[in-house]
């Protein structure tokens, strides 16, 4: 009772939207529109509801992630490098190291792609620094050739995001 009475006398603070927002939104253009109706038949009695399953359309499966062999082949053709299966192992190790980075995962989940990409590049560079002793040739190629580094990091970022999407889709 007290809360109901208090609610009536408390001032209502209705701040108007900023002018920029008011200028860019035309609320007259929005309307509700009935697109259809559906009858839902419910069974009588008590029954446990099954959880909803996610739709399969638009999902990226593991088979859609470009293989490392293909990436290495394209890098070799485009930049004249001679990366081998040992380098593929290095890339896999790098992927494992970045996959276990909680800060990167948090950044991917909460930031827009361009900000997440910036964080991704920083984390990859840190992990590459840690791996410089085991694969100096690969590290040198990335640090010496900006175009190569950009292509490689783009592929790695796409693979990382797709792998996270596949993992999260499996968890849902």
Q: Is the confidence at residue 112, as pLDDT, over 80?
A: yes
Does the structure show a pLDDT above 50 at 1? yes
Cα 37 from Cα 74, distance rounded (Å) = 52
Which tokens hold the place of 131?
A: 């791996």
Tell me the pLDDT band of 26, cut-offs 50, 70 and 90: low
The fraction of the chain above a pLDDT of 70, given in percent, is 84
Spell out the domain ranges in the chain: 67-165
Cβ count near 71 (within 10 Å): 19
CA distances from 170 to 32, 71, 83, 98, 111 (A): 35, 25, 33, 20, 22
């Amino acid at each position: 009772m007290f809360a109901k009475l208090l609610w009536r006398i408390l001032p209502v603070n209705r701040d108007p939207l900023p002018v920029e927002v008011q200028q860019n939104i035309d609320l007259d253009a929005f309307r509700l529109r009935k697109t259809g109706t559906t009858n839902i038949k419910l069974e009588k009695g008590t029954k446990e509801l099954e959880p909803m399953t996610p739709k399969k359309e638009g999902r990226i499966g593991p088979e859609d992630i470009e293989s490392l062999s293909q990436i290495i082949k394209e890098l070799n053709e485009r930049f004249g490098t001679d990366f081998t299966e040992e380098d593929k192992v290095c890339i896999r190790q790098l992927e494992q190291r970045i996959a276990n980075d909680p800060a990167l995962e948090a950044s991917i989940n909460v930031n827009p792609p361009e900000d997440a990409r910036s964080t991704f590049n920083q984390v990859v560079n840190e992990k590459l620094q840690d791996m410089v002793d085991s694969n100096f040739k690969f590290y040198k190629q990335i640090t010496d050739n900006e175009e190569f580094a950009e292509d490689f990091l783009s592929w790695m970022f796409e693979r990382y995001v797709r792998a996270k999407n596949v993992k999260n889709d499996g968890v849902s």
